[in-house]
Amino acid sequence: MQHRLNAQTIGPNGPAMVAAVDACVHCGFCLPACPTYHETHDETASPRGRIVLMKEVLEGTLTWDDAQPHLDQCLGCLACEPACPSGVSYRDLISPYRALAAPQVRLGFTARVRRALAAFTVPYPRRLRLALRAARLTKPLHRWIPAAFRPLLDLAPAALPRRQTLQALYPARGKRRARVALLAGCAQQVLDPDINAATIEVLTRNGVEVSVPRAQGCCGGLAWHTGDRATAQHLARANLAAFPTDLDAVLTNAAGCGSALHEYSMILAGTPHEAAARQLAALTIDVSVFLTRLGLREPPTGFQPTRRIAMQDACHLANAQGVRAEPRQLLAQIPGLELIEPADGHICCGSAGTYNIDQPAMAARLGRQKAEAMLATGADQVASGNIGCQTQIRHHLARLNAALPVRHPMQILRDAYAPETQNGRS
């Protein structure tokens, strides 16, 4: 794509941003892969259209405010990347562009409040728990809440699981085969803390020593994907200090968090911490990848009768990290488990970090479609490797009055190890 961009004047991410624009040949292969284009058939809602918009803003031929509504509607799902024959690294453009745009764009009142509430609560488990409790108490007043803020209440679960406190260290059972650190996540600790418990149980059962660094915090992904570079950098630096590097791996069990850690060198580009960020990213892998490479030391007992599991690929696992086969390979080792692939599995569920708060109408359309696709499989459960996807799908299944459990692959694998562990975890 022809342009007049100067990488040196754009900022620390300038070279990668210009390379992404250079690589785009405007072929249109990305269009059918893009969820928002799929819904609107509008060129400005497609990856190639957004690349043109960003290019023109950076060249000064279009204003920040004129382009922003179309860029705000981008999920950042990165489905365009595997579809692109030219290898455009869309991720190298969209998030750094949003960081440049944030100080320039005049957000409306509703958008500012939504974004501020999410930024103040979601990355901090105690605040999030209090906010969700308050939302539950406020639900009876739903009809008097301004329509623009109702999605904040609608997404709050009817009840929260009991809080779980993680130990600093979990020794391996039997002979130790590996040492890892686990990123515990923020929203996940509140919405479904059993995911971490299941992950640790599966790892230790397979001879893995697991540390959970006390000083860790939010990965910073939510801030980075909404253009808040300063907050993302602060959170990234905190995690660089918290996680040791003398380990076999740093494990993540939430797709969005794993993707964020891999982008630390982008977040911290041009700072003294960039090299350390690359080192942490090189150590970081999804737990399904780690266990597939290590191999299960003992086979799971399995399920009787057979369970039919519908696989949901989280975008920031499949597209951002290229992890598709490993969760399937792990679950395929469970006797009495049948994997089912839903239709249009590559289409985003509409969660996308805080997208279902920022863009509730589009998120609701995508969420309903995803829930309907899961129901159409006839599965007994849904497997999803990201807490945001799980929350979104559960919400829309509930709106369809469907009782279909949505669980993490680690929970399913943990339950498959012994019948006695399955009690109360269906």
pLDDT at 417: 92
Question: What are 206-217's pLDDT values in tens digits?
Answer: 999 999 999 999
pLDDT at 421: 46
Cross-strand partners of 407: 383
pLDDT at 6: 86
How high is the mean pLDDT of the chain? 92
Tell me what the mean pLDDT of segment 249-271 comes to. Answer: 96
pLDDT band (50, 70, 90) for residue 422: very low
Return the domain boundaries, the chain. Answer: 7-101, 299-422
pLDDT band (50, 70, 90) for residue 419: low
Question: What are 48-70's pLDDT values in tens digits?
Answer: 999 999 999 999 999 999 999 99
Q: Does pTM top 0.95 for this prediction?
A: no
Instruction: Please check the confidence at residue 426 and state whether its pLDDT lies above 70.
Output: no
pLDDT at 143: 76
Instruction: Please check the confidence at residue 420 and state whether its pLDDT lies above 50.
Output: no
pLDDT at 424: 39
Domains 7-101 and 299-422 fall in the same CATH topology: no
Task: Please give the class, per CATH, of domain 7-101.
Answer: mainly alpha
Question: What are 8-45's pLDDT values in tens digits?
Answer: 889 899 999 999 999 999 999 999 999 999 999 999 99
* Choice among 113-117, 211-215, 265-269 with the minimum mean pLDDT: 113-117
Tell me what the mean pLDDT of segment 131-148 comes to. Answer: 80
pLDDT at 395: 93
Residue 225 CA to residue 304 CA, distance in Å, equals 43
> How far apart, in Å, are the Cα atoms of 63 and each of 66, 74, 377?
5, 18, 46
* Choice among 181-190, 390-399, 414-423 with the minimum mean pLDDT: 414-423
Question: What are 283-328's pLDDT values in tens digits?
Answer: 999 999 999 999 999 889 989 889 999 999 999 999 999 999 999 9
pLDDT > 70 fraction of the chain, expressed in percent and rounded: 98
pLDDT > 90 fraction of the chain, expressed in percent and rounded: 79
Tell me what the mean pLDDT of segment 350-358 comes to. Answer: 87
* Choice among 139-148, 169-178, 325-334, 337-346 with the minimum mean pLDDT: 139-148
Task: Please give the class, per CATH, of domain 299-422.
Answer: alpha beta
Instruction: Please check the confidence at residue 168 and state whether its pLDDT lies above 60.
Output: yes
pLDDT at 383: 97
Instruction: Please check the confidence at residue 5 and state whether its pLDDT lies above 90.
Output: no
